Amino acid sequence: MIRGQGSVAEPEEEFDEGFGEAAPFDLLRVPLAGRFLRWRHARTMLAIPMLAVSLVMIAQGLLGPTLSPKNLATVLTWVHFRGALVLALLCAGNLFCLACPFMLVRNAMRKFIRPRFTWPRRLRNKWIPVVLFALVLFCYELFSLWSSPWLTAWVIVGYFVAVLVVDGLFKHATFCKYVCPIGQFNFIAATASPLEVAVRDQDICTGCGTKDCIRGSRAPSPGLVILQCGCELALFQPAKVGNMDCTFCLDCVHACPHDNVGILSRLPAAELLTDPQRSGVGFFSRRKDIAALTIVFCFGALMNAFGMVSPVYTVEAWLGRVLHITQEAPILGLLFAVFLIVEPALLLGGAAWIARTWAGLRGNWLSLVVRYSYSIAPLGFGMWLAHYGYHFFTGLYTIVPVTQNALMDLGWPILGTPRWTMVGLPKTIVEPLEFGFLMLGLAGSLMIAWRLAEDDSENHTVRAFTPWAVVCGILFAASVWLMLQPMDMRATMMAG
Amino acid sequence: MRCRSMHRRGYRAAALMVLSASLLAAAGCHRAHDAARDIRVETTLQPEPVRVGNATITLRIADGQANPVRGAQVQIEGDMAHPGMAPVFHDAQPLGPGSYAGTMKFDMPGDWVLLEHIRLTDGRRIERQVAVNGVAAQ
Which residue in A51, A171, A172 sits closest to A105, CA to CA?
A51
Q: What is the pLDDT of residue A8?
A: 42
Give the mean pLDDT of chain A.
92
The number of helix segments (H) and strand segments (E) in chain A equals 23, 6
Contact A49, A84 (CB under 8 A): no
Q: Does the structure show a pLDDT above 80 at A36?
A: yes
Smallest CA–CA distance, residue B96 to chain A, in Å, is 30
Peptide bond connecting B47 to the previous residue in cis, omega within 30 degrees of 0 = yes
Q: Provide the pLDDT confidence category of residue A259 given band limits of 50, 70 and 90.
A: very high
CB contact under 8 Å between A60 and B29, yes or no, is yes
Q: Using CA coordinates, name the residue in chain B closest to A391.
A: B84
Which residues of chain A are within 8 Å of residue B125 when distances are taken between CB atoms? none
- Say if residue B3's pLDDT is above 90: no
The one-letter amino acid code at B92 reads A
Chain B closest-CA separation from residue A388 CA (Å): 11
- The answer to whether the Cβ–Cβ distance between B14 and A410 falls below 8 Å is no
Lowest-confidence pick of A337-341, A386-390, B133-137: B133-137
Sequence-distant (6+) residues with CB within 8 A of B37 are none
SS (H, E, C) A416-430: CCCCCCCCCCCHHHH
Which residue of A lies nearest to B82 if distances are taken between CA atoms?
A: A147
Interval A125-175: pLDDT, tens: 999 999 999 999 999 999 999 999 999 999 999 999 999 999 999 999 999
Q: Is the pLDDT of residue A18 over 60?
A: no
Beta bridge partners of B60: B42, B99
Distance between CA A430 and CA A442 in Å, rounded?
19
Q: What is the pLDDT of residue A6?
A: 38
pLDDT for residue A401: 95
Preceding omega of A413 cis (within 30 degrees of 0): no
Residue B34 — pLDDT band, cuts 50, 70, 90?
A: low
CA distance A268 to A151: 36
| A407 interaction partners in chain B (CB closer than 8 Å) | 28
pLDDT value at position A11?
Answer: 43
* Helix, coil or strand: residue A372: helix
- What length does chain A have? 496
Chain B residues contacting A via beta carbons under 8 Å: 3, 6-7, 10-11, 13-14, 17-18, 20-22, 24-32, 77, 79-87, 89, 108-111, 113, 115, 129, 133-134, 136-137
User: Tens of pLDDT along A369-396?
Assistant: 999 999 999 999 999 999 999 999 999 9
Distances (CA, A) of B108 to A197, B82, B85, B87, B137: 44, 11, 10, 11, 7
Whether the pLDDT of residue B26 is over 80: the answer is no
Considering only alpha carbons, which residue of chain B is nearest residue A51? B18
| pLDDT beyond 80 at B29 | no
Predicted model pTM: 0.89
CB contact under 8 A, A63 and B7: no
User: How far, in Å, CA of A448 to CA of A382, rounded?
Assistant: 14
**A78, B11: Cβ pair inside 8 Å?**
no
pLDDT of residue B138: 74
- Find the helix packing angle between A181-190 and A377-394, rounded to 10°: 110
**Which has the closest alpha carbon to A295: A232, A227, A342?**
A342
Q: Do A67 and B20 touch (CB under 8 A)?
A: no
Look up the ipTM and state it: 0.76
Residue A333 has pLDDT above 50, yes or no: yes
Q: What is the distance between the alpha carbons of residues B16 and A102, in angstroms, rounded to a whole number? A: 17
Among A59, A104, A424, select the one facing B22 at the smallest CB separation: A59
Contact yes or no for A395 and B26 at CB 8 A = no
Residue A452 pLDDT greater than 60, yes or no: yes
3-state secondary structure of A77: helix
Give B110 to chain A, closest Cα distance, Å: 4
Contact assignment for A48 to B17 by CB distance below 8 Å: yes
Q: Where are the alpha helices (DSSP H) in A28-148?
A: 31-38, 42-63, 72-75, 82-91, 95-98, 101-109, 127-142
Asked whether the predicted pLDDT for residue B14 surpasses 60, the reply is no
User: Rounded to whole angstroms, how far apart are CA atoms A365 and A398?
Assistant: 49
Weakest mean pLDDT among A33-37, A361-365, B23-27: B23-27
Residues of A in contact with B20 (CB under 8 A): 52
Report the residue from B28, B109, B113 with minimal CB separation from A410. B28
Question: What is the rounded distance in angstroms from the CA atom of residue A474 to the CA atom of residue B29?
Answer: 47
Q: What is the pLDDT of residue B35?
A: 62
> Which among B79, B133, B137 has CB closest to A69?
B79
> Which three-class secondary structure state does DSSP give residue A92?
coil
Q: Assess whether pLDDT exceeds 50 at residue B88.
A: yes
Position A221, amino acid: S
CA of B8 vs chain A CAs: smallest distance (Å): 11
Position A412: which residue type? W
B109: nearest CB among A67, A392, A488: A488
Predicted local distance difference test score (pLDDT) of residue A345: 97
Nearest Cα neighbor of A150 from A57, A56, A62 is: A62
Chain B residues touching A62 at Cβ < 8 A: 29
Q: How far is CA A29 from CA A5, A36, A371, in A?
A: 18, 10, 36
- Beta-sheet pairing, B73-80 with B110-119: antiparallel
